Amino acid sequence: MTRGARVSGLAVATALSRVLGFIRASVWAAAFGLHVVGNALTLANTLPSIVYTLLAGGAISSVFVPQLIRAAANGRQEGDAFAGRLLSVALLVLLPATVIGVLLAPWIARLYTGGAWPPRDTALLAAFLAWCLPQIPLYGIFAVLSQVLLARDRPGPMMWAPVANNVVGIAAAVPFLFLGGIATGPDANAAETVSPGEVLAIAGGATAGVLVQVLVLLPALRAAGVRVRPRRDLRAAGIGRSLRLAGWTVLFVAANQIAYSITAIVANAAGAAADTADHAAGLAQYTNANMIMLVPHAIIAVSVVTAAFPRMARAAVEHDVDRVARAATEALVRSGRLLLPVACALLITAPLITRLLFPGNPGPDTWFMGLVLATFAPAVVIYSFQFVLVRTLHAWENTRGPAMVQIVIALIQSLLAVLASLLLPAGYVVVGLGAAFSLAYTVGLVCTARLIVRTTGRRPLRGAAGALLRPALAAATAALGAGAVVAVSGVGPATDLWHSALVLVGAVGVYVAVFIVAAGHLSKGRPWTTP
């Protein structure tokens, strides 16, 4: 299979998974709302999935790929034994942590709500957490098994597995659309409308989806001839080095978790204070906007890097600096040419997109979510470029540098989150949180680019900049045209769904037409204003 065909296949898998993820988020929002119950479920289900995002995104799992490649070079038996040791370590760490987390769920719930929620709402969150936290070891198993397949140059199953997860999540929530009974608004007694059996069905269904996601990998492992089983010989050669490298990524994870915790506390407090306003303004708004931002990142950047990373890791194992640098530059260019137009379009059309993605919720709620999404638009490019550069460092088995950079990102994001809570009205704090995310990762990208130069002596980001200048100019020009369409249309929070859809189609049509014309002129070396 050619490299382009592989990237396309991974992109299709990711796109389908994200489409189903949107459907699941929309069904959940319609069934449980964006207020008390929706916020509690979002937070409970986000805590374990944040760990997964970090693992699958390269925080821990990518560190193991070069090690797995090196072990497999010594024979299949040694490769399987090394993978088994990694799985054992993951289970030894994650299983006790999960048990402790479930036992401490009420205290965790109070921590993440900052004491701003009433006791009955906090109790509902704790109940959801008790059933969602078991996702953590499942995500850990999925991450290890996925990287075993990736090291064998078989990334497809790990990209298709989340499709099954989303299908189960949708199936678990659909009955509540028809049964009713759960309060979806900012009712003071909303938490009491969810029975213990419904807590099990909702949160347990979410966890069952993750279990199915893990089970999907097992046939692929058997087809690849891989036999991964927990082992006791954890002192064997090689595992110690991997754990030392992963130690820095634990710091990476902790920095992210602290930043997310502060963001969640601020968002929950703001949402509770703004529940009497004309729109929902809590954690669910922030989380859904962030999820939408991650869609182009996952479809484009993750697919490109997932296909390139085994080749990048092998080049690093062979100490071929130029091959690694070329692969990084190529990944930046291939991702950037698609992400730049998407980011500019998202900046202009974000409220219209959220209005259509969440048709079961009030217009003011979804329009406000779009404002939050617009602040995430720059991160579509910035976060993805940061991802590419971090994976490049992980190919060199450099985990300390990314961990230090992530601490800087977490500090900036946390500081800006606190400032947003102090300076902005409660109803608009989560807009500030989205901007804080984008600004923090901008600083992180600059720091990581400098770290790449010090590590390899190469400048992949600078090498990509020249190739991306024309797409960036064309995208900015197209955004002006689309913005004019949106401004003239007069759409707003009270605009009905069909009118919003028509304006979105018109704005996207103008955007695409202007982008094609501008890109064509720029590619010929003429100004885009030339007739």
- For residues 331 and 386, what is the distance between their CA atoms, to the nearest angstrom? 12
Q: What does 363-374 look like in DSSP terms, one character per residue?
A: HHHHHHHHHHHH
Determine how many CB atoms are found less than 10 A away from the CB of residue 150. Answer: 24
Question: How long a stretch of residues is the chain?
Answer: 531
DSSP state of 528: T
- For residues 315 and 325, what is the distance between their CA atoms, to the nearest angstrom? 10
For the chain, report the end-to-end CA distance as a whole number of angstroms: 43
**CB contact at 8 A, 388 and 335:** yes
Amino acid (1-letter code) at residue 180? G
The three-state secondary structure class of 17 is helix
State residue 187's pLDDT score.
Answer: 79
The reported pTM is 0.75
Backbone φ, ψ for residue 400 (5° rounding): -65, -45
Burial 425-456 (b: 16+ CB within 10 A, else e): ebbbbbbbbbbbbbbbbbbbbebbbebbeeeb
Q: What does 1-34 look like in DSSP terms, one character per residue?
A: --HHHHHHHHHHHHHHHHHHHHHHHHHHHHHH-S
The three-state secondary structure class of 1 is coil
Dihedral sign computed on CA atoms, order 395, 397, 398, 399: positive
**CB contact at 8 A, 111 and 261:** yes
- For residues 353 and 366, what is the distance between their CA atoms, to the nearest angstrom? 9
Determine how many CB atoms are found less than 10 A away from the CB of residue 119. Answer: 10
**CB contact at 8 A, 28 and 41:** yes
Determine how many CB atoms are found less than 10 A away from the CB of residue 84. Answer: 22
- For residues 217 and 165, what is the distance between their CA atoms, to the nearest angstrom? 12
**CB contact at 8 A, 44 and 295:** no
**CB contact at 8 A, 417 and 264:** no
- For residues 229 and 148, what is the distance between their CA atoms, to the nearest angstrom? 12
Determine how many CB atoms are found less than 10 A away from the CB of residue 16. Answer: 16
- For residues 305 and 311, what is the distance between their CA atoms, to the nearest angstrom? 10
Nearest-5° Cα angle at 482, 477 to 487: 125
State residue 530's pLDDT score.
Answer: 37
Amino acid (1-letter code) at residue 116? A
Cα torsion at 220, 226, 232, 234 (round to 10°)? Answer: -100
State residue 505's pLDDT score.
Answer: 95
Amino acid (1-letter code) at residue 481? G
**CB contact at 8 A, 269 and 421:** yes
Of 39, 50, 28, the C-alpha closest to 206 is 28
Which pair of structure tokens corresponds to residue 430? 């989560």
State residue 475's pLDDT score.
Answer: 95
Burial class (CB in 10 A: 0-12, 13-18, 19+), 311: middle
State residue 528's pLDDT score.
Answer: 41
Dihedral sign computed on CA atoms, order 33, 36, 39, 44: negative
**CB contact at 8 A, 268 and 125:** no
pLDDT in tens, the chain (531 residues): 555 666 777 778 888 988 898 889 889 988 898 888 988 998 899 888 765 555 444 445 556 766 777 776 666 777 777 778 878 877 887 888 889 989 999 998 988 887 778 899 999 999 999 999 999 889 888 888 888 887 777 878 888 999 999 999 999 999 998 887 888 877 788 888 999 999 999 999 999 999 999 999 999 888 878 788 777 766 665 566 666 666 676 677 778 778 888 998 898 888 877 765 577 778 888 988 998 998 899 889 988 888 888 888 888 878 888 898 899 999 999 999 999 999 999 999 999 999 998 887 888 888 999 999 999 999 999 999 999 999 898 888 787 888 899 899 999 999 999 999 999 998 899 999 999 999 999 999 999 999 999 888 888 888 898 889 999 999 999 999 999 999 999 898 888 889 999 999 999 999 999 999 998 887 765 444 333
- For residues 200 and 132, what is the distance between their CA atoms, to the nearest angstrom? 10
